[in-house]
Chain A
Amino acid sequence: MSVTRSWQRKPLFVLGMIGAVTVFALAKGSAERSTQVGGPRLVSIEPLPGEAGMCEPPSPGSSLGVPAAMQQGAGSAAAAAGPNDDARLAASRRRALRVIRDPYAAFAAIAVDPIRDEVVVTDNNFFQILVYDRLANTPPTASQTEPKRILGGLKTKIEFQAGVYVDPANGEIYAANNDTVDTMVVFSRQSAGDVAPTRELFTGQTYGLAVDDDAQEIFVSVQNDSAVLVFRKGAQKTDGPIRRLQGDHTGLAAPHGLAVDPKNRLMFVANHGAVRRMHPDGRPTMGTGGAEGQKTWTISRHVPGSGKNGPPSITIHAIDANNDTPPLRTIIGPDTQLNWPTGVVFDPKRNEIYVANDAADSILVFSATASGNAAPVRVVRGPRTGIKHPTGIALDTQNDELWVANYGNHSATAYKAGADGDVAPLRTIRSSPPNTLALMIGNPGALAYDAGREEILAPN
């Protein structure tokens, strides 16, 4: 799939001129984007339909003009006659004045396939999965690293994929959506472009993804319900989970990344800390707001007013924990340096866990036996590391390398697994020129305007 992007600065308002416009056309059945950049054009200045009786514009310091309109009174709301159909249609086709959009892929989750020498990243900006050569090391002069193949488009059902896994047996790519699509998608190694997934599994809204290849089980975290669901690895369509870990005693609180240690029968979960109590009358439902299903689906009903913001943590559970089982241990407290811990991976060689510490631009390394207010044994952080808002993390046990997806700067960086401090990456894969910070817009679900500062406020 080819994606053409072109971005050009353009004049905004120049004496009745409207600058160039950008249009993203939705091709039928395709998410391929095209960008048209045209020259400025004259706009006629005519009396506007319904203009009669309009008031003066509100004061510049008021985004909605409420104070000024309050002084004018409710008469300002007199309903003017609407435009005729032609004027209404013409206005609906007006092109955009400006578009704020990150022009580069934003890497969120990462997996490494040492058998096939590939690195797989999910892109939460253009909704893609990109596959790179594991040994690619992009020179500073290159604008980006060329991917070996790309999956993306509406048929793929890829949007905000926050968990990714590559099956060592056959190279299949598993990717779990964290927000907008309630389906984990699986692609064969041969898949590319805008193609339907090889398999799909309804999981509800998830975040992290881990696989126990010994037991052939898939683990996903469910942030909204503070739960972990476990499916059989071959599950598809509406096959239900075989276990659910959820409840007020689990310690799960807005869980994100998770990892498993099959040998020692452990599961590690990174929690942001927000949590609400399960309602005692809650029943398992097939995803948020879904119909009642098997008893192992999550319970999405909560006690009103029970919510709280707790500290971030890493909870350590038995790998087969289910129902409302408390964690075996919890890494929690100010010495941990946890700040929105997101991705987590287990290192069997060192018996350590690595945590992508999103809000502190760091990778924290803990002993897998740590508990309580434990300080990390190592911290990878600093300007040389290239780490910026890390959300994804992966370990290449074959080559003893740690991979980090940096959501904040369009890059994936590789380090020796035992790296410590402000170390430069061994190699860097990137979707943009070097050191290009990301906008990190992600499903901007609301919007506001601060007229005083002349700023647009966009939340994720």
Chain B
Amino acid sequence: MSHPQIAAFARLAEGGALPTRRIFGQKTRLGRTIHGMAYDDVHDEIVVPQPQAQAIMTFRGGADGEEAPIRVIQGPLTLLGDSDDDPDRLALDPVNHEIFVPQKDYILVFDRRANGNVAPLRILKGPDVFRRASGVAVDPVNNVLLVSGSPADGGPRGVMIFERTAEGNAKPLRMIRGPKTDLRGGGRIFSYPARGLILAEGESGTRRNVVSEEANRTPLNEMAHDRGYVGVWSIHDSGDVPPRWMIGGPRGMMLQIRGVALDPKNKTVMISDKRLNAVVTFSFPEIF
């Protein structure tokens, strides 16, 4: 996309309804493309990663226009940016004041109140942890850390469930993985602590190219496909478990799932989609 921003839309907005406010401009330090974000409803703050500047930036919850972040975690002590696109995603624990940032084969944990060039509080890393962390979510109610990616044993991708405070070479408590899980997508993962649920990007059926890919290495089935959905699991699930619920598909309207947000009060699940270039809201009272 051509223009970085964080846009806020009214809950009931639809169609071409304009944002109620937008955060953009040089002072914001935002850059393309923001692949992770958390809203801290306890402290009313917005947290986003900035890969080009290797930073974690926190804005006021009500930030508007060209407004600078109130805190920036950035500098050599942070260890942020160990691979091409990192920091790319994050998870926030507003209760224990921690930010989790996946990077390649480890996870950095920062104090969410930190500012400037600060070292992580702890690092989850080691041969028994995982081979690759794609996404991360945290559940402070049930004290678990959820990591999507490739397990340490080299088996299929899935969701690895750790103690929330795991560090060093900690093994996962359990894993959800296997052909019934459909956990083959981009590894985006979210938690709903009040119900102990995991929401993750699922992909049903066999991958196929929408059109032939001749000259480039981008799998064209990544441009758009109708096999995606948001799957719902319990944090107590283990092994080759199919999702309890599937939201938005497969063979629904979603073409390239990106972010997920929940509105428990109104029992809706919101999903952003790259190919639709849209935010889609589903009523899904079953999970609330």
Chain A residues in the interface with B (C-beta under 8 A): 7-10, 12, 18, 22-26, 29, 31, 48-51, 54-55, 57-58, 60-70, 72-74, 76-80, 82-83, 88-89, 91-104, 108-109, 124-127, 154-155, 157, 159-160, 162, 178-183, 196, 200-202, 223-224, 226, 236-238, 254, 272-276, 286-290, 300-309, 311-312, 338-340, 342, 358-360, 389, 391-392, 407-408, 436-437, 439-460
- Chain B residues near A99 (CB, 8 Å)? 14-15, 276, 278-281
Query: Are the CB atoms of B1 and A307 closer together than 8 Å?
Result: no
Residue of B nearest to A78 (CB): B196
Complex Cα distance, B16 from A9, in Å, reads 10
What are 25 A-B residue pairs whose CB atoms fall within 8 Å in the complex? Answer: A24-B255, A57-B265, A66-B42, A68-B194, A77-B195, A91-B247, A91-B286, A98-B281, A101-B277, A103-B15, A154-B211, A226-B52, A274-B52, A306-B81, A312-B26, A340-B4, A342-B3, A358-B3, A359-B24, A448-B46, A449-B39, A453-B61, A456-B8, A457-B7, A460-B7
Complex Cα distance, B180 from A392, in Å, reads 46
B262-279 toward A: CB 8 Å interface, digit per residue (1/0)? Answer: 111101101111111111
- Chain A residues near B142 (CB, 8 Å)? 74, 77
Known A64-B262, A305-B77, A359-B24; contact A48-B3, beta-carbon cutoff 8 A: no
- Chain A residues near B9 (CB, 8 Å)? 100, 455-456, 458
Complex Cα distance, B11 from A339, in Å, reads 30
Known A181-B223, A448-B38, A457-B37; contact A60-B279, beta-carbon cutoff 8 A: no
Known A64-B194, A407-B2; contact A460-B33, beta-carbon cutoff 8 A: yes
Complex Cα distance, B218 from A202, in Å, reads 9
Query: Are the CB atoms of B140 and A439 closer together than 8 Å?
Result: no
**Closest CB in chain A relative to B99 CB, distance in Å:** 14
Query: Are the CB atoms of A223 and B264 closer together than 8 Å?
Result: no
Residue of B nearest to A436 (CB): B16
- Chain A residues near B30 (CB, 8 Å)? 459
Q: Which of B6, B51, B76 makes the CB contact (< 8 A) with A306?
A: B76
Query: Are the CB atoms of B54 and A307 closer together than 8 Å?
Result: yes
Complex Cα distance, B11 from A157, in Å, reads 33
Q: Which of A82, A92, A200 makes the CB contact (< 8 A) with B216?
A: A200
Complex Cα distance, B267 from A45, in Å, reads 14
Known A70-B95, A301-B84, A459-B37; contact A359-B66, beta-carbon cutoff 8 A: yes
- Chain B residues near A78 (CB, 8 Å)? 196, 236
Query: Are the CB atoms of A98 and B3 closer together than 8 Å?
Result: no
Query: Are the CB atoms of A160 and B81 closer together than 8 Å?
Result: no
Complex Cα distance, B96 from A81, in Å, reads 30
Query: Are the CB atoms of A65 and B77 closer together than 8 Å?
Result: no
Q: Which of A8, A60, A72, A305 makes the CB contact (< 8 A) with B81?
A: A305
Query: Are the CB atoms of B223 and A48 closer together than 8 Å?
Result: no
| Number of B interface residues in the complex (CB < 8 A) | 134
Query: Are the CB atoms of B2 and A108 closer together than 8 Å?
Result: yes
Which of chain B's residues 176-234 have a Cβ closer than 8 Å to chain A?
191-196, 210-211, 214-218, 220, 222-226, 229, 234
Complex Cα distance, B216 from A287, in Å, reads 11
**Closest CB in chain B relative to A285 CB, distance in Å:** 9
Query: Are the CB atoms of B52 and A254 closer together than 8 Å?
Result: yes
Sorted from nearest, which 9 A-B pairs have the closest CB atoms? A77-B196, A442-B1, A307-B54, A447-B259, A65-B194, A444-B272, A459-B34, A101-B278, A82-B244
Query: Are the CB atoms of A88 and B84 closer together than 8 Å?
Result: no
Query: Are the CB atoms of A443 and B15 closer together than 8 Å?
Result: no
Query: Are the CB atoms of B274 and A445 closer together than 8 Å?
Result: yes
**Closest CB in chain B relative to A192 CB, distance in Å:** 17
Query: Are the CB atoms of B277 and A179 closer together than 8 Å?
Result: no
Known A79-B237, A339-B25; contact A276-B2, beta-carbon cutoff 8 A: no
- Chain A residues near B286 (CB, 8 Å)? 48-51, 83, 91
B54-73 toward A: CB 8 Å interface, digit per residue (1/0)? Answer: 11000001100010000000
Q: Does B122 contact A (CB under 8 A)?
A: no
If A24-B255, A79-B234 are given as contacts, then 20 extra A-B residue pairs at C-beta distance below 8 Å, sorted by A number, are A26-B225, A57-B288, A58-B264, A64-B193, A69-B193, A70-B141, A77-B195, A78-B236, A79-B237, A92-B250, A98-B14, A182-B216, A200-B216, A312-B26, A392-B2, A407-B2, A437-B18, A448-B46, A455-B9, A458-B7
Complex Cα distance, B225 from A66, in Å, reads 34
Complex Cα distance, B3 from A63, in Å, reads 27
Q: Does B166 contact A (CB under 8 A)?
A: no
Query: Are the CB atoms of B280 and A445 closer together than 8 Å?
Result: no
Residue of A nearest to B61 (CB): A450
Q: Does B152 contact A (CB under 8 A)?
A: no
Q: Which of B3, B41, B284 makes the CB contact (< 8 A) with A91?
A: B284
- Chain B residues near A108 (CB, 8 Å)? 1-3
Complex Cα distance, B44 from A458, in Å, reads 16
Query: Are the CB atoms of B16 and A445 closer together than 8 Å?
Result: no
**Closest CB in chain B relative to A13 CB, distance in Å:** 8
Query: Are the CB atoms of A272 and B264 closer together than 8 Å?
Result: no
Complex Cα distance, B260 from A451, in Å, reads 14
Most chain A C-beta atoms within 10 Å of own C-beta, residue among B84, B260, B288: B84
**Closest CB in chain A relative to B102 CB, distance in Å:** 14
Q: Which of A96, A180, A339 makes the CB contact (< 8 A) with B274?
A: A180
**Closest CB in chain B relative to A89 CB, distance in Å:** 8
Query: Are the CB atoms of A159 and B245 closer together than 8 Å?
Result: no
Query: Are the CB atoms of A443 and B274 closer together than 8 Å?
Result: yes
